[in-house]
């Protein structure tokens, strides 16, 4: 059963080996002429501006977290909308009430975050 995975192991070994050999070869036989421009940070062709180690306000973390929570919860609406019609044929509008309860709880969470100051910047 484990032998089924042999191709994956071979691919893994080959991929790692390919990268390692190429890196080693360029390091060993490649010419090394370093200039100021070559040693600078690679920013996709743009002149580097400042240091990357900057302090970022913790508020971004909170906003990002709230976004993720609401974003993922809204994703649940899509599969629900797809099966909605099939379910209403079989068992009435139970599925609608179910989603209303879900959105109600979501809304409560939204108001909670709002009222507790989770959405204000200061």
Is 87 a binding residue for another protein by CB under 8 A? The answer is: yes
The tokens 């809204």 sit on which residue?
A: 74
Angle, helices 58-75/77-91, rounded to nearest 10 degrees? 30
Is 55 a binding residue for another protein by CB under 8 A? The answer is: no
Long-range contacts of 112-115 (CB under 8 A, 24+ apart): 113/66
Of 4 and 51, which CB lies nearer to another protein in the complex structure? 4
Here the tokens at position 68 are 């993720």
What φ, ψ does residue 106 adopt, rounded to 5°? -60, -45
Is 67 a binding residue for another protein by CB under 8 A? The answer is: no
- Exactly one of 1, 8, 56, 82 binds another protein (CB under 8 A); that residue is 1
Q: How far is the CB of 20 from another protein (least distance, A)?
A: 27
In the shown chain, the binding pattern of residues 95 to 114 toward another protein, with x for contact by CB under 8 A and - for none, equals ----------x--x--xx--
Interface with another protein (CB under 8 A), residue total 11
Of 5 and 14, which CB lies nearer to another protein in the complex structure? 5
CA distance 83 to 95: 9
Please say whether the beta carbons of 48 and 41 come within 8 A.
yes
The site for another protein (CB under 8 A) is made up of 1-2, 87, 90-91, 94, 105, 108, 111-112, 115
């Amino acid at each position: 059963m484990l032998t089924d995975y042999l191709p994956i192991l071979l691919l893994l070994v080959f991929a790692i080996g390919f990268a390692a050999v190429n890196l080693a070869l360029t390091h060993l036989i490649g010419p090394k002429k370093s200039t100021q421009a070559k040693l600078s940070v690679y920013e996709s062709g743009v002149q580097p501006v400042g240091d990357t180690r900057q302090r970022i306000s913790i508020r971004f973390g909170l906003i990002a977290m709230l976004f993720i929570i609401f974003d993922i919860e809204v994703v649940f609406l899509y599969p629900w909308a797809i099966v909605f019609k099939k379910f209403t044929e079989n068992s009435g509008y139970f599925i609608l009430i179910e989603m209303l309860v879900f959105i109600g709880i979501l809304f409560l969470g939204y108001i909670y975050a709002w009222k507790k100051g989770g959405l204000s910047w200061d």
